[in-house]
Structure 1
């Protein structure tokens, strides 16, 4: 192994130590912000160490064909110690700032969607229901008015044509289903008149 490869490996392990610190703080901050239950912490730690091991060995294999030497652990240790002594707090603050920005953007988007899309649709729906109610009220009023106006003429017409249709009723049998429909129509009409 040449000196250049050794320095490259030392540098990559140093950067990997910094990366492991960032990954550890990221998982810790996300778990705190998402209020993850405490019983998931061992599972999270196990997943962290599996991911860290895979990443370290992939980087080690890329830098020196996977040869494990003392300076590999030295580089990792220096990176981790430097991260947790000097860089951890600013990184955690930056992560919290980013999470707060994402939360603010999410709240802004939710309020924008409510103001621009949902509330106008609800208002249009309410207006449509009120308009239909108004039209139904006007239609029922006009229907009653026309019935009241035509009622004397209907009575007169029924009285004038009574000699024609009265003998026919003796020979006509109304089917049962037709009387049932008439009964239900009369009940619906009575209900409508009670409400409108």
Structure 2
């Protein structure tokens, strides 16, 4: 292994140390913001270590074909120390900023959907109910007027056909119909 490959490997492991610490801080901030239950913390840790292991070994395979040497751990250690000394606060604040931006964007989209879609649909529904209620009230009012106007003619018809009752047999269904009409009329106008 040449000196160039060794320095390249140390640099890659330095970047790996920085990357796995950044991923650690992002996982830590996300688990705090999402308020994950305590039983999920081991699962998050397992996912973190799987991602970190894959990242380190992929970079190790890329830089020196997977040979493990002492300077690899030196590069990882330098990367971890560098990250926690200089970059940790920046990554945490940047992660919190991104979370706030995502929450603000979600609230904006939710409010936009509510204003553009939901409120007009509710407004149309209420307007339809009001219009149908008004039309029903007008129809009932007109129905009562028509019944009131026809009531004298109905009484006249009954009075004129009363002598014919003696000679004609009125079917039962017609008697029931006339009784129902009179009952409905009395209910509507006896108030």
* TM-score band w.r.t. shorter chain: 0.7 to 0.9
Q: CA deviation at 1:104?
A: 1.1
Give ranges in structure 2 of 5+ residues lacking alignment.
none
Cross-structure match for 2:73: 73
Whether 1:44 and 2:41 are equivalent positions in the alignment is no
Q: Distance in 2 between matches of 1:52 and 1:155?
A: 96
Q: Which runs of 4+ in 1 moved over 6 A?
A: none
Flag the 1:140–1:173 CA change in 2: closer, same or farther, 3 A.
Answer: closer
State how 1:105-116 maps to structure 2 within 5 Å: 105-116=105-116
Cross-structure match for 1:125: 125
Q: Distance in 1 between matches of 2:64 and 2:54?
A: 15
Q: CA deviation at 1:134?
A: 0.6
Q: CA deviation at 1:47?
A: 1.8
Cross-structure match for 2:91: 91
RMSD, aligned α-carbons: 2.5
Give ranges in structure 1 of 5+ residues lacking alignment.
none
Q: What is the TM-score normalised by the length of structure 2? A: 0.84
Q: Distance in 2 between matches of 1:71 and 1:166?
A: 124
Count residues with an aligned counterpart: 180
Cross-structure match for 1:82: 82
Q: CA deviation at 1:164?
A: 7.3
